[in-house]
Structure 1
């Protein structure tokens, strides 16, 4: 729905086109010509069950994430991915009869008690024995994730894929040597085509037709938390099992001082230099993927700002140079970052906060301090890390995730949360999948992620996007705005993209002659009705500026068109290749302090569309067009949009940029140093009151489920400051919505080659 509130149109001049050098490199992304039939489908690739540190079973998370009736936010595709390492809980056991299937019935102990997903492997009926170098004491010994993936998680996901006829497969949120976490998978062997015609068992027991052997081997070889030395075998020293060797073609392998001959893998020592040694091992992991599974794997650093800057002596965050290193080594595999993190309802949104990470005895901020409108600073800051990477012409895309673990202070079936949203409930990635008339399969989904033809959105702010750039020349080659708008309208309404000579969409490159005009058309669907928020009372953030808009009926306020210039890949070792994001960014967000390596000073908002400058395209669709005048240098354009206008206190600045989420974060903040006196108490940063008193506000102790009447007043779980409820947790997330598109590149003849895209 269009908002009745009209803000002043942002008047921004187009920066003069600049020249640049050229660069030759191997292109990796899809071309615009002759594209197969496709559609945008929504999914999630980062979430957790009791196989790692989640709160529910595999069956329950699949149902919650994909069901379109009991949980109406059901996704089109789903990757179940938990932490690497080990765990002691049998996540294949279901909670209740609603999750029971013929092949995986409920399991009871010898005394008749239901065994749910928190039952340990060794307490299960029958007991399951962990393999390899086992840690802990029975019956709580831990199973290595490689065994869990190979023998238990993959078979149940394959079965559910076939039984529900849903595109499900397995990934891992790997614990990264030298860094924090990455969402990844190797899909080789998973969900074979013969599964389409398989006869599923009518009784307990399922033998998978495919396998996750490649993913299990990668996890054993390269996850930082996998310290097993058993080579995927029954016991250390046994030859019964996988007999894995983690050698990488062309690398030192056993000649590396970090090589463990028993484990047949790199096992870098901790202590001084551990971060550098760990990063080197991670580069070997990417080389392994590129050598053995180049088209069937992906690797997207997760919530990559959360753990702060890179620590050469430990395992913390990712600086821009590490992202460059990854993409240089494996551009077909490391093609983006998960910079819109999950944990959106946490007391520290995204679990980002100031003074979060202890590095060398000092508590250091998450990069950027907090999230900014729910997005990490690398993706949220115009001209920051993402724009620096795009300004090189890299194929490096923006992704979001749920990072589901639990509901915090509520049970998993409650609609309220003080921690996580379910996959698809709040955030989702819309990805162009070119499956033609075939069913959705893991390979087509991975190919879609790789293409960059995708956008991410929170709170169902939009659910369709046609984003097109076309070349226009004087004379016969002239394209009027209406012609390009028509292409964008057709694409958005048909939930597909454009296949037209002289035009390109997200993740693609438009090659033009010098002097061309670039016609950029955007069509979105701002859906009427309600989103999946359980709250119907007015948005407290918008009430600050006199807008009465229900939290469960958000309206798109504006869309920013962002442009940056492309100047080519930066050289490893050069002054502009490496650099950490400034600490204390929350208190001093000054781009002049950002190292040259981590910014693109040409990136800027060149147009802000709103109800004064877009037009109704019918059936909830909005259309808008902008012409970039005669171009002389290679560049890119991308989009972001929000339900919040500029100058919303504590939410947006005067230009509509998101502000730090610190003022809706209820968490207590660490002191700068252990024992210091500058800690911040919980709730001390909260600034936005929630004042609506409703007639349907359930107590915290009562379970509020799907299908119940919407909560019409500020909920009981919001924190109170000086007797007033304050905006925080899930309410803060539903109040502050954003979408981000991936870029369209424009390569101008005679200017810099956009080397990362064909």
Structure 2
């Protein structure tokens, strides 16, 4: 029921990359390659992304210096948080070009615009038929949607079947030929295409090679920027703690975080005559490829959020306790929109395999129950960016300037953390450095909801929690998923609004002696543990998403000198 892992292998996977990629080693002659590796080398040559002489360690090895590392993971001190504009988006959207999708690109973008999104990423599943047929078809539709919806920043990405792991959003900046790079990445590193989905040491190492490949393409100028975000991390227990850390440490400018809350939030809604579903699709149990160390509670959502995020002092906190950024997002993961009258027209069973996509959906005249919401209808990832363009949004995600919300619980969030010696306070994803013994001031300004949610009511924020966690440094055991020194420093209950429509809370950490981080969460207060404030596990078949709303925000680090 579990897989055994040998830590010494994973700790040194980066040093063994050349052994695992013979097709990328220029010292290996074509005639000495296995047929599958020869096809990979020939594929790269045809694309012109790497030449035969450049296909060795210089491109596929692990150097993380150069242009790709120039972007910091954290907001720089001295930047006024007021310069950022906050753009809402969705990085996990499926279309008719996924084997389990239905809607067109244009339909998804139009609905995203209707629900006030500023940016979206189309992420159809990696698949042999997708790589063979759908990449170009999708791109044509993306270009048409960009032309019609000029205010929407729209990427064509991929839901990567991570070798040895789960799924992940991958997308590149659009200023260069992202289509060529996307096709090459899918061909070389997608687990569905290469049969590397099952958990094994070799497959885990191949996932790291995929990250190095993206980093190398940035370094050589083939692409300008790339991001990878781990999707539904606890749904099947496929992402072990050491894999998460390996992604982050191998390419911290690309592998930047995980879904704090999954999509498919309507799946647990109680519906008469329907067997109970699970919120987020988290109704699973450990399987052959699951990491055996996770408890059963990890396979459920808590207030709609993944256990890795929702568990106070859990997996997310254990990574933040190392003092490194690992950011959370959320999204729709939409395949079919709840309440839509659209349905897929009847086709032969092998249609997708032969076409890489389905015909446009047809209007049946009656709404259907589906597990998903339209982009922006329920879940929103809000990114702080200095520029309303593709690079600006990607840099904002990379820097952790992100808060995530459900059901329109809040309309805006402004977190500022001040220490001595800084012109401006730090905001989400940033860090401040203070002298030992000084004070750290926190200011939280929230703009409460003013619009009804999908359930017809204006959500009411009942409580905001300011969470503090100690920064203790690198862990000895990279499969650690707990952080004991994490607690709620203070909880706030919104009172009357200020004249500008915001509620403001403040807190001061006095006589700071050791490094720490802070993060925020908030709730409508309708469901929490008896006698406490922690979220409750969602009940399969009885989890109305509109009756249990939360927001979470990425941390600010406080360094002590």
| 1:83 and 2:69 are equivalent in the alignment | no
* Structure 1 equivalent of residue 207 of structure 2: 282
Go from structure 1 to structure 2 and tell me whether the alpha carbon gap of 1:653 and 1:505 turns closer, same or farther (over 3 Å shift). Answer: farther
Alpha-carbon offset, residue 84 of structure 1: 0.6
Deviations 1:480-521 (A, max 9, x none): xxxxxxxxxxxxxxxxxxxx6152111111010011111111
Deviations 1:417-459 (A, max 9, x none): 4400111000000001111xxxx32222111110101100000
| 1:444 and 2:392 are equivalent in the alignment | yes
Looking at structure 2, the residues matched to 298 and 443 of structure 1 have their Cα atoms a distance apart, in angstroms, of 11
Looking at structure 2, the residues matched to 390 and 216 of structure 1 have their Cα atoms a distance apart, in angstroms, of 33
Go from structure 1 to structure 2 and tell me whether the alpha carbon gap of 1:172 and 1:220 turns closer, same or farther (over 3 Å shift). Answer: same
* Structure 1 equivalent of residue 62 of structure 2: none
* Structure 1 equivalent of residue 511 of structure 2: 630
Looking at structure 2, the residues matched to 157 and 38 of structure 1 have their Cα atoms a distance apart, in angstroms, of 27
Deviations 1:556-586 (A, max 9, x none): 000000000111123xxx4x221xxxxxxxx
* Structure 2 equivalent of residue 617 of structure 1: 498
Given the two structures, how large is their TM-score scaled by the length of structure 2? 0.76
Greater helix share, structure number: 2
| 1:301 and 2:343 are equivalent in the alignment | no
* Structure 2 equivalent of residue 507 of structure 1: 429
Alpha-carbon offset, residue 147 of structure 1: 4.4
* Structure 2 equivalent of residue 155 of structure 1: 140
Alpha-carbon offset, residue 529 of structure 1: 3.9
Aligned residue runs from structure 1 range 578-617, under 5 A: 578=479, 597-611=480-494, 616-617=497-498
Looking at structure 1, the residues matched to 394 and 187 of structure 2 have their Cα atoms a distance apart, in angstroms, of 22
Higher Rg: 1
Alpha-carbon offset, residue 406 of structure 1: 1.0
Looking at structure 2, the residues matched to 211 and 523 of structure 1 have their Cα atoms a distance apart, in angstroms, of 38
Q: Out of 551, 558, 561, which is 1:746 matched to?
A: 558
Aligned residue runs from structure 1 range 201-600, under 5 A: 211-227=178-194, 274-293=199-218, 296-308=225-237, 317-346=238-267, 347-355=277-285, 357=287, 368-407=298-337, 411-412=341-342, 417-435=369-387, 440-471=388-419, 501=423, 503-531=425-453, 533=454, 535-536=455-456, 552-570=457-475, 574=476, 576-578=477-479, 597-600=480-483
* Structure 2 equivalent of residue 64 of structure 1: 111
| 1:660 and 2:537 are equivalent in the alignment | yes
The answer to whether the Cα contact below 8 Å between 1:179 and 1:275 also exists between their aligned partners in 2 is no
Question: Match of 1:226, SS?
Answer: helix
| 1:74 and 2:4 are equivalent in the alignment | no
Alpha-carbon offset, residue 402 of structure 1: 0.6
Alpha-carbon offset, residue 144 of structure 1: 3.5
Aligned residue runs from structure 1 range 118-133, under 5 A: none
Go from structure 1 to structure 2 and tell me whether the alpha carbon gap of 1:222 and 1:622 turns closer, same or farther (over 3 Å shift). Answer: same
The answer to whether the Cα contact below 8 Å between 1:301 and 1:337 also exists between their aligned partners in 2 is yes
The answer to whether the Cα contact below 8 Å between 2:428 and 2:554 also exists between their aligned partners in 1 is yes
* Structure 1 equivalent of residue 521 of structure 2: 640
Alpha-carbon offset, residue 167 of structure 1: 1.2
Given the two structures, how large is their TM-score scaled by the length of structure 1? 0.57
Looking at structure 1, the residues matched to 248 and 372 of structure 2 have their Cα atoms a distance apart, in angstroms, of 30
The answer to whether the Cα contact below 8 Å between 2:105 and 2:145 also exists between their aligned partners in 1 is no
Alpha-carbon offset, residue 55 of structure 1: 1.4
Deviations 1:362-413 (A, max 9, x none): 9x98661310000011000110010000000111101111100114686348
Structure 1 unaligned segments of length 5 or more: list them: 1-24, 87-142, 193-209, 228-266, 309-316, 478-499, 537-551, 579-596, 667-726, 750-758
* Structure 2 equivalent of residue 40 of structure 1: 86
The answer to whether the Cα contact below 8 Å between 1:354 and 1:365 also exists between their aligned partners in 2 is no
Greater strand share, structure number: 2
| 1:170 and 2:156 are equivalent in the alignment | yes
Deviations 1:105-127 (A, max 9, x none): xxxxxxxxxxxxxxxxxxxxxxx
Question: Match of 1:183, SS?
Answer: strand
**Cα RMSD between the aligned structures?**
2.5
Alpha-carbon offset, residue 655 of structure 1: 2.2
Alpha-carbon offset, residue 161 of structure 1: 1.1
Structure 2 unaligned segments of length 5 or more: list them: 1-64, 268-276, 343-362
Go from structure 1 to structure 2 and tell me whether the alpha carbon gap of 1:34 and 1:523 turns closer, same or farther (over 3 Å shift). Answer: closer
Looking at structure 2, the residues matched to 59 and 736 of structure 1 have their Cα atoms a distance apart, in angstroms, of 31
The answer to whether the Cα contact below 8 Å between 1:506 and 1:741 also exists between their aligned partners in 2 is yes
* Structure 2 equivalent of residue 29 of structure 1: 74
